[in-house]
């Protein structure tokens, strides 16, 4: 019997309020309607151990951790997520769509908090190795619009939203720099449109890049 073809790994990235969580669900449904087996997940989180670490990162006061501590926690959660959820699904031939991955750590802790890129690269090598997403969709939105959207859905996970606007400006610039530096993997999606228009743009990007 021929082994199942390995699945594809798609990540959605972007700042606060860009609609990633909604679009992960929409993309998962779009892929499923085309006969693709798919798992939707998130970071930090996506596995029992990583969800425990998530609470430490996204709840509580903004000053709870410095950038280095955050980076270490994110990569610890990422390692558990990959081992428990992502890699087993891909090995089964299932596609995985994740709300955030390592680009968020580079944008938030690197560009936002100033953690040196060499630290990020070393942590990535240890926790992730040579593994990379097949496609990364960067949802882009002016930070004022994104923060206003995020404020309307406030719950307990507000720690990053409470950081200064100049931090969020650096994060947005970081995501755009990541996409510019790796155009073969990344596509920037205008997230200022409505949900349906954004979902359609994402579907076109996935179909064009991955041939669905």
Percent of the chain with pLDDT over 70: 95
pTM as predicted: 0.94
E-strand ranges in the chain read: 9-14, 38-42, 95-99, 135-140, 186-190
pLDDT at 199: 98
Contact 12, 20 (CB under 8 A): yes
pLDDT at 94: 98
174 CB-near residues (< 8 Å, 6+ apart): 106, 107, 108, 110, 111, 112
First to last CA, the chain: 25
**Looking at the predicted structure, is the pLDDT value of residue 163 above 90?**
no
**Looking at the predicted structure, is the pLDDT value of residue 146 above 90?**
no
Higher pLDDT, 65 or 158: 65
**Looking at the predicted structure, is the pLDDT value of residue 2 above 70?**
no
pLDDT digits (tens, 9 = 90+) for 56-80: 998 888 788 999 999 999 999 999 9
pLDDT digits (tens, 9 = 90+) for 3-36: 458 999 999 999 998 999 999 999 999 999 999 9
pLDDT at 154: 62
User: What domains can you pick out in the chain, each with its CATH number?
Assistant: 9-210 (3.40.50.300)
Distance (Å, whole) CA 55 – CA 72 = 14
């Amino acid at each position: 019997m021929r082994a199942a073809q390995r699945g594809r790994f798609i990540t959605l990235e972007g700042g606060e309020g860009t609609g990633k969580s909604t679009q992960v669900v929409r993309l998962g449904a779009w892929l499923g309607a085309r006969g693709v087996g798919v798992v939707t997940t998130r970071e930090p989180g996506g596995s029992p151990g990583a969800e425990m670490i998530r609470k430490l990162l996204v709840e509580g006061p903004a000053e709870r951790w410095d950038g280095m501590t955050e980076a270490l926690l994110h990569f610890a959660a990422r390692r558990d997520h990959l081992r428990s959820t992502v890699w087993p699904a891909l090995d089964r031939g299932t596609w995985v769509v994740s709300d955030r991955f390592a680009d968020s750590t580079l944008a938030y802790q690197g560009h936002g908090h100033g953690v040196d890129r060499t630290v990020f690269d070393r942590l990535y090598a240890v926790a992730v190795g040579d593994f990379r997403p097949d496609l990364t969709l960067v949802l882009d939105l002016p930070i004022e619009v994104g923060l206003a959207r995020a404020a309307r859905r406030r719950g307990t996970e507000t720690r990053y939203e409470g950081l200064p606007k100049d931090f969020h400006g650096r994060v947005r610039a970081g995501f755009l720099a990541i996409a510019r530096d790796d155009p073969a993997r990344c596509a920037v999606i205008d997230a200022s449109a409505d949900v349906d228009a954004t979902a359609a743009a994402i579907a076109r990007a996935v179909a064009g890049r991955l041939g669905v």
